[in-house]
Structure 1
């Protein structure tokens, strides 16, 4: 019926076009100005905005991060646990199987654990089998937390704080953790400021590396690099000379003139030596003089010999 305002749909309920609302009604705020249009570099989604953000990200100072190794490790067996405790490994807890026979190794473990305040737990043998993934534990096992790696720049800062010229050992594709531990031990003994390893295709600071270092890993930082070649170039930009050990090196170790300055020593794997990109990055390739036809030394021995010679030249 005409004029029946109660009929559904006869009155428009929205403000837009509703004469009862008017320009000063409930849509008044829609008439308020938003100010000047922002510049292109300030508008999200605009290419100029993205370009500015990318430039700011690159210019921002790099935040140093501390990386950790993989999951918690287990050391199984009486001899292994005693050796780990003697080497001052950061053992977080020691587990003893219920009813385990007491002997000299177990008594020494109890004594060291008590002196160092390490947790000692007695659990069932089946549970210890499960924790150690079926390893031959002889009723004794130790839990070791993940190793905390330093940032590569920390090694330079360590030298600066000591008022010394940097001496860093870098490993290229060394996959034996015992070799890594031996290098860390030699580096600590001959005054190096740290050891650098790549994240991939390299041994990490496992329980085996810790034991081989004979406690040196607790005193000397080990850093990880995402890309070894790129990090060596960064060290060069920081003023370090980079030398690589190679059987066909251009310079003999006894004639190394670079030993007295900021130095990075790169040691390759025993089988393949230095990779091509790493060798090309080195400022100089250095050989260790050999008396007979021995082709190469393992990484741990080669690093020890080289660091000893460098320490003599620096002295």
Structure 2
């Protein structure tokens, strides 16, 4: 029997039914809730022949283990985990210069979900994370990502430094963010194939990851705080690439 997982939150469930309906096994919806958006998701599920069960709030709370489910949960076939080989094939089929995001050591699922959401909005082709020392694609990540987890490939790699070398061999320039960098992101010419490497909040990029970047950059900080939340910093960096590409 194939493995299954739970996905919750309106954006996440709706996006999965829209993009990968074949993965949806059944849907659990809040009983007695008169909500137009919830009703539309239930109707869409039924159109695909998906069984819908209506439940009391406590039953849904138990299924989501206390996380905010917004009245909708889907049990789905577990997604295939994308790896180094998938990244190589994916990049080779792109018809435009690759735009990638590397997240090194981001272990907080809320931060990973927010970074995926920003990556989707900015048109990033894939997000790369190390197999170990990183949050994975959990229901919390999917909910925070608001549907982006179903549209942006999340690639798990065994050896991040090796993956970065392989990207550089394909002509992709890797910019890593670091507090000690002398180069301001707004002074960089962000053209061609690009990967932005972001480290965990507090620790930043690991030493080996920093050493494999082509260039280290930083955001100008004018106030009393010395750093930003990784998801906020990621959004700023990605959209500077978007601005320059336009």
TM-score normalised by L of structure 2: 0.80
- What secondary structure sits across from 1:148 in the alignment? coil
Return the match for 1:278 from 198, 202, 209: 209
Partner of 1:85: 13
Deviations along 1:145-184, one digit per CA (max 9) or x if unpaired, are 3232323354454444342111211110001222222222
The number of residues matched between the two structures is 235
- Structure 2 residue runs of 5 or longer lacking an equivalent are none
Q: Relative CO higher for 1 or 2, CA cutoff 8 Å, sep ≥ 6?
A: 2
Taking the aligned partners of 2:136 and 2:236, their CA distance within structure 1 comes to 22
| Higher-strand-fraction structure | 2
C-alpha displacement of 1:298? 1.8
The verdict on how the C-alpha distance between 1:72 and 1:229 changes in structure 2, with shifts beyond 3 A counting, is: same
How far residue 264 of structure 1 moved from its aligned partner, in angstroms, is: 1.6
> Does residue 1:192 correspond to 2:124, yes or no?
yes
CA spacing shift, 1:156–1:189, aligned 2, 3 Å: farther
Distance, in Å, in 2 between the alignment partners of 1:295 and 1:147 is 38
Instruction: Sort the Cα spacing of 1:189 and 1:135 in 2 relative to 1 into closer, same or farther, 3 A.
Output: closer
Against the structure 1 CA distance between its residues 108 and 314, is the aligned structure 2 distance closer, same or farther, given a 3 Å change threshold? closer
Match of 2:114 in 1: 182
Structure 2 residue aligned with 1:117: 49
Contact map agreement 1:249 1:285 (CA 8 A) in 2: yes
Judge conservation of contact 2:102–2:196 (CA < 8 Å) in 1. yes
Runs of 4+ with >6 A deviation? 122-126, 136-140
CA–CA distance in structure 2, aligned partners of residues 192 and 101 of structure 1: 38
User: 1:86 Cα deviation (Å)?
Assistant: 3.4
Q: CA deviation digits over 1:176-217, x for unaligned, max 9?
A: 222222222222222321000111111111122222222222
Q: CA deviation at 1:279?
A: 1.1
1:195 and 1:223 in contact (8 A); partners too: yes
1:283 CA drift (Å): 1.5
Rg: which structure is higher? 1
- Measured in 1, the distance between the counterparts of 2:54 and 2:34 equals 18
Structure 1's unaligned 5+ residue stretches are 1-70
Query: How do residues 194-209 of structure 1 correspond to structure 2 at under 5 angstroms?
Result: 194-209=126-141
Residue 166 of structure 2 corresponds to residue 239 of structure 1: no
Distance 1:82 1:124, change over 3 A: closer
Matches within 5 A, 1:1-315: 72-75=4-7, 80-88=8-16, 91-95=24-28, 101-105=31-35, 107-121=39-53, 132=63, 141-155=73-87, 157-257=89-189, 259-315=190-246
Moved more, 141-150 or 243-252: 141-150
Once the two structures are overlaid, the 10-residue window that deviates more, 216-225 or 266-275, is 216-225
For the aligned residue pairs, the C-alpha RMSD in angstroms reads 3.1
